Structure 1
């Protein structure tokens, strides 16, 4: 076991919690955006569409960098088998819990009260299986990807730990980092395009799309976080404000919106999206880290509470948002009012459920993967 002792990275805890909680405004704004979802308002809102696009364009890239950072930190603290067990419990148990308690009831809710599922009785056996994969994984997809990245980390982290040649990371700038990530993104695009040409049905398969394509896309961000732990100069680069990265985030966001509106699925929409969101995520990594380090890098009971609550809030907010969209959205004429009313109601209900679950030891264990030791 490693004896490494480090100060707690409060700003990374804070960023991770806020990125998780951004899932609530993301899905509530999705109701009022021009994007097609399970439930939509009658008339989309331009500013809520822009807000939804902005959150979606960078949030998970930054999240997986932080996940890789903390995962590698724990890898050095534990023996590899112990690390794998602890990480799979922390991520896998909430994933397995949320399927029967959240996404399965959500599936029946959508089947009965929305048009999203369609005519279930006419589906083939494979169509039913594939629909269930999409709906049961649903907003839990990032937990499945984290499980797979953790399993891959058993190999990739060992390789990283055993690297003894000393690259001068103080000389590594944003250009080299961007080229490395773009190189991987281009390989991902080539892989997807070959599947599109020769096995297009695979792209419609929910399990393949999430377990393979999403995992491969976020792998370099996960490893970038691990590299930032191993090489402090890299983390220093991330937390030092760079005006070019700030400007790049704005430019890439406008390009992202243009691609979403003017490209087609049969064309290069998804490949372009991968390249754009790779760069957008990298630019926003600097924005989030530098401002987070400046303003959020201190101990705060409120932040600790949000860190502990954020996963549970994210897990339960999705069906609450769908219920809000199905039953309340049609009765609120103003999209802006509906959006803010939805935020208040969904956050209030989600935090109330969080407080209830804290008082039930079994639920607390199932939604955190942690055992309370007296």
Structure 2
């Protein structure tokens, strides 16, 4: 068997790349499900509702668990100062640059579509964006970059506890209790969702803030546990059976009214399902994705810039596509394909080739080694948080 640390980083990198790839399908779908988004098509695609609802429960939780694991691997190899410096460059810098350069086109096209602006983009940027009035009342926002913001806040908030756990030593053994970690997530949703609905505003977003904070902690603690990945692999079939049965029961219950929407059973059941499938992904990922190849070598580096760019590209292309007299499925296919191609061109043609763009998109800048470095040995997994 290959070196354990190499397996660990490779399969988590694969899962992170896949999760970000799925975001293209999800955010393209947001145009066509009638949930209310930055741009929406006049006709919906009803067949997307359940897949979108399931994807909403699975995509971001997995990314936060992987990010938490990445924090463990990074702190294991770095001093506190180097860890904070690296996370600030990797998270805070792309967030700030993104709020000024990446996100504003999304708001511009939303205002155009809703008849709230009729001028050009430059005038919009100067007279609206640079007034720094928070969205939605104004036109300054982090939009999909909330993920980066929350991760950075979690780093600052959890650092003392993470250091304590690191000193304490990885002596917690995996066991059946891990199956129960979905219940705290469900209790959090049951108590807070109706009071603080999902908003990604940081301040007054306690349901979502706590939800992803717990998942980040889960990832950090689990990564510290000897044998955790092998254990998750061993129980992967039980996780899959339990998660699938629960999903079928929830869909049946919600569709028939046996389980009321937003009831305690809905909240608890949905979060247990979320956690069981996080275990499924980790277990099957360890079993089948513990390898490196040229595709992962490229995609691992590309995934973060793709994440930063993807929603703006989808909104921009979507604005023009939804005005065409095409069927909803044709529009979906055009937006999805066009967005993937556009992000590929932007990344491979621009971002990865210039040091300043690599820096502001959270990538490692390829420079000759200096006399002092924070990381003595580069390692896989450093891009996970």
- TM-score normalized by the length of structure 1: 0.81
Q: TM-score, normalised by structure 2?
A: 0.79
Query: Distance in 2 between the 1:320 and 1:128 partners?
Result: 23
Gapped regions of structure 1 (runs ≥ 5) = 121-126
In structure 1, the partner of 2:159 is 154
Tell me the SS of whatever aligns to 2:5: coil
- Residue 13 of structure 1: CA displacement? 0.5
Partner Cα separation in structure 2 for residue 256 and residue 157 of structure 1? 38
**CA 1:7–1:262 in structure 2 vs 1: closer, same or farther (change >3 Å)?**
same
Q: C-alpha distance in 2, partners of 1:31/1:259?
A: 24
Aligned to 1:123: none
Closer/same/farther in 2, CA of residues 334 and 322 from structure 1, 3 Å limit? same
Asked whether the equivalents of residues 26 and 52 of structure 1 are also in contact (C-alpha less than 8 Å), the reply is yes
Residues of 1 paired with 2:18 and 2:57: CA distance? 15
Shift of 1:332: 4.9
1:183 aligns with 2:196: no
- 1:225 paired residue among 219, 234, 247: 219
233-242 or 349-358, which deviates more? 233-242
Shift of the 140–268 alpha-carbon distance from structure 1 to 2, 3 Å rule, reads: same
Deviations 1:344-368 (A, max 9, x none): 1110011100021222221111111
What's the CA shift for 1:27?
Answer: 0.7
How much has 1:134 moved relative to structure 2?
8.9
Q: In the aligned structure 2, how far is the partner of 1:204 from the partner of 1:10?
A: 33
2:296 pairs, out of 303, 307, 318, with 303
Q: Write the distance in 1 (CA, Å) between the matches of 2:154 and 2:41.
A: 36
Q: Matches of 1:250 and 1:153 in 2, distance apart? A: 33
After superposition, the CA RMSD in angstroms is 3.4
Whichever structure has more helix as a proportion of its residues is 1
Residue pair 1:67, 1:225 contacting (<8 A) in 2 also: yes
The reply to whether residue 367 of structure 1 matches residue 361 of structure 2 is yes
Q: How many residues are matched?
A: 350
Please tell me whether the aligned partners of residues 32 and 45 of structure 1 are also in contact (alpha carbons under 8 angstroms): yes
SS of alignment partner, residue 280 of structure 2: helix
Please state how far the C-alpha of 1:369 moved relative to its aligned partner. Answer: 5.2
Residue 206 in structure 1 maps to residue 201 in structure 2:
yes
Once residues 252 and 143 of structure 2 are traced to their aligned partners in structure 1, the CA distance between those partners, rounded to angstroms, is 24
Does the Cα contact within 8 Å between 1:240 and 1:290 map onto a contact in 2?
Answer: yes
- What's the CA shift for 1:19? 0.6
Which of 274, 295, 299 matches 1:281?
274
Which whole-Å CA distance do the structure 1 matches of 2:28 and 2:133 have between them?
27
Aligned partner (choices 280, 284, 293) of residue 291 of structure 1? 284
Structure 2 unaligned segments of length 5 or more: list them. 118-123, 125-131, 369-385
Q: Is the 8 A contact 2:106 2:316 kept in 1?
A: no
1:363 alignment partner, SS class? helix
Contact 2:237/2:280 (<8 A) preserved: no
